[in-house]
């Protein structure tokens, strides 16, 4: 077991708490960098998607897990990012310019969607964002002169500084770099005043405002940053699938994005990545399992949604802290062996809560 002896305040400011973390993250980085050598084409493709969904998951995590605002319309930001990227690429913009533009436009739309969040809470905010998602989907289908409507749009391959990024490995490194960058940026944000203000809003709005946190500013900022990350994810997604149409950005996708956060573990950066990996891998597992299921079940429509739903319910009941929570428990079990107790992660319930100021 590891004991952390703290001898300086600066130790708490570091991104990595101890050498063990540096070692394991370093190893992870090496394994991921070497992926084109060990992974098959199929696995590479899955890794692309995991990277892209991780970025989107980070955006969701920032909003849902750290600021405590719910959104059921995030597919719309994904769409804004994807369409902006597609249209700007078609117009001949370089990738290093079109990607930030996709992020910025998504952020701008995020600010507009964030406005009702200043007045709405919980389920009402969920409904408002859901409505927004449906509206954007509708606009994409109807504004044919710009989006090509339901017949969709083809996306050009990325061209970065004159070189065409069309190989699996090239695209993989791009996605990996952006995912790592987004992870680090979010981790940095969370250990500075802005991130703490987000957490404050999540845990008690009234008290956050009494500590001088401008609720309107920080809620809007959270929506904007979340939308920007989702927009980046959307732009990469467009390049990955190389063809986009409105039915790729439906309500179901929004729900899938919320699922990332819940399955991964609300309130952790790891959770966003774990959740993303999980929802990419699960459909693959289902299709493998189909071979062993009776034909009536395997061929049934909606098998995937059913399994997703069941998994979601199971997580909420049995592991509310998500995959990351499970990971923490396993790690603690090894660290404390043989002294781990079952109730170690049980949450204490608070019975005293002031209702009046909520």
**At how many degrees (to 10) do helices 193-203 and 215-241 cross?**
100
188 sits near other proteins (criterion: CB under 8 A): yes
Q: Any idea what DSSP says for residue 251?
A: H
208 sits near other proteins (criterion: CB under 8 A): yes
Shortest separation between residue 7's beta carbon and other proteins, angstroms: 14
Shortest separation between residue 264's beta carbon and other proteins, angstroms: 16
Which residue reads 């959270």 in tokens?
222
Q: Binding residue for other proteins (CB under 8 A) from 196, 240, 270, 290? A: 196
Binding range to other proteins, per CB under 8 A, among 9-17, 157-165, 234-242, 285-293 = 9-17
192 sits near other proteins (criterion: CB under 8 A): yes
342 sits near other proteins (criterion: CB under 8 A): no
Q: Any idea what DSSP says for residue 3?
A: -
Shortest separation between residue 184's beta carbon and other proteins, angstroms: 8
Q: Which two tokens stand for residue 270?
A: 């790891």
204 sits near other proteins (criterion: CB under 8 A): yes
> What value, to the nearest 5°, has the Cα angle with vertex 263 and ends 257 and 265?
105
211 sits near other proteins (criterion: CB under 8 A): yes
Q: Binding residue for other proteins (CB under 8 A) from 102, 213, 253, 257? A: 213
Give the Cα separation of 107 and 43 in Å (integer).
32
For residue 303, give the H/E element and its range.
helix 303-318
Q: Under rule CB under 8 A, how many of the chain's residues touch other proteins?
A: 40
Between 199 and 282, whose beta carbon lies closer to other proteins? Answer: 199
Show contacts with other proteins in window 257-286 (CB under 8 A). Answer: 267
**At how many degrees (to 10) do helices 322-336 and 269-290 cross?**
100
Shortest separation between residue 107's beta carbon and other proteins, angstroms: 12
189 sits near other proteins (criterion: CB under 8 A): yes
Q: Binding residue for other proteins (CB under 8 A) from 209, 245, 250, 332? A: 209
Between 279 and 321, whose beta carbon lies closer to other proteins? Answer: 321
Which SS3 state, helix, strand or coil, does residue 167 take? Answer: coil
Q: Binding residue for other proteins (CB under 8 A) from 21, 214, 287, 304? A: 214
9 sits near other proteins (criterion: CB under 8 A): yes
Strands (E) across the chain are located at 153-154, 158-160, 163-165, 243-244
Q: Binding residue for other proteins (CB under 8 A) from 79, 200, 263, 279? A: 200
DSSP notation for 269-289: HHHHHHHHHHHHHHHHHHHHH
Between 138 and 203, whose beta carbon lies closer to other proteins? Answer: 203
Which residue reads 């969904």 in tokens?
53
| 230: number of Cβ within 10 Å | 34
Query: CB of 62 within 8 A of CB of 194?
Result: no
Shortest separation between residue 130's beta carbon and other proteins, angstroms: 26
Query: CB of 87 within 8 A of CB of 215?
Result: no
Between 163 and 357, whose beta carbon lies closer to other proteins? Answer: 357
Between 97 and 206, whose beta carbon lies closer to other proteins? Answer: 206
34 sits near other proteins (criterion: CB under 8 A): no
Q: Any idea what DSSP says for residue 100?
A: H
| 174: number of Cβ within 10 Å | 19
DSSP notation for 333-351: HHHHTT---GGGGPPPPP-
219 sits near other proteins (criterion: CB under 8 A): no
150 sits near other proteins (criterion: CB under 8 A): no
Asked, as a colleague might, if the bond just before 338 is cis with ω within 30 of 0, I would say: yes
Shortest separation between residue 319's beta carbon and other proteins, angstroms: 17
User: Could you list the residues that contact other proteins (CB under 8 A)?
Assistant: 9-10, 12-13, 15, 185, 188-189, 191-197, 199-200, 202-204, 206-216, 221, 267, 347-348, 350, 352-354, 357
């Amino acid at each position: 077991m590891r004991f952390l002896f703290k001898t300086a305040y600066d130790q708490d400011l570091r991104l990595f708490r101890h050498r063990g973390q540096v070692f394991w993250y370093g190893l992870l980085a090496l394994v991921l960098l070497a992926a084109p050598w060990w992974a098959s084409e199929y696995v590479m493709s899955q890794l692309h998607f995991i990277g892209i969904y991780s970025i989107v998951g980070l955006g969701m995590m920032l909003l849902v897990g750290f600021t405590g605002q719910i959104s059921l319309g995030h597919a719309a930001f994904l769409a804004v990012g994807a369409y902006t990227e597609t249209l700007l690429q078609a117009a001949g913009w370089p990738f290093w310019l079109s990607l930030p533009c996709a992020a910025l436009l998504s952020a701008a739309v995020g600010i507009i969607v964030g406005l009702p969040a200043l007045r709405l809470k919980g389920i009402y905010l969920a409904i408002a964002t859901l409505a927004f998602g449906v509206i954007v989907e509708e606009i994409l289908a109807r504004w044919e002169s710009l989006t090509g409507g339901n017949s969709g749009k083809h996306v050009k391959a990325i061209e970065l500084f004159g070189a065409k990024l069309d190989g699996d490995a090239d695209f993989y490194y791009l996605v990996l770099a952006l995912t790592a960058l987004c992870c680090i940026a979010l981790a940095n944000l969370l250990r500075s005043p802005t991130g703490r203000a987000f957490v404050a809003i999540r845990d008690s709005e009234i008290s956050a405002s009494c500590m001088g946190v401008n609720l309107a500013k920080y809620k809007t900022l959270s929506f904007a940053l979340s939308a920007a990350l989702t927009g980046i994810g959307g732009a990469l997604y467009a390049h990955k699938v190389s063809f986009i149409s409105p039915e790729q950005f439906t309500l179901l996708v929004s729900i899938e994005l919320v699922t990332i956060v819940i399955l991964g573990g609300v309130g952790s950066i790891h959770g966003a990545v774990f959740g993303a990996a999980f929802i990419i891998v699960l459909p693959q597992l289902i299709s493998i399992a189909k071979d062993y299921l009776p034909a009536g079940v395997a061929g049934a429509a909606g098998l995937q949604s059913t399994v997703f739903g069941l998994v979601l319910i199971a997580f909420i009941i049995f592991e509310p802290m998500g995959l990351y929570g499970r990971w923490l428990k396993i790690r603690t079990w090894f660290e404390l062996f043989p002294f781990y107790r079952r109730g170690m992660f049980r949450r204490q319930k608070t019975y005293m809560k002031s209702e009046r100021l909520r």
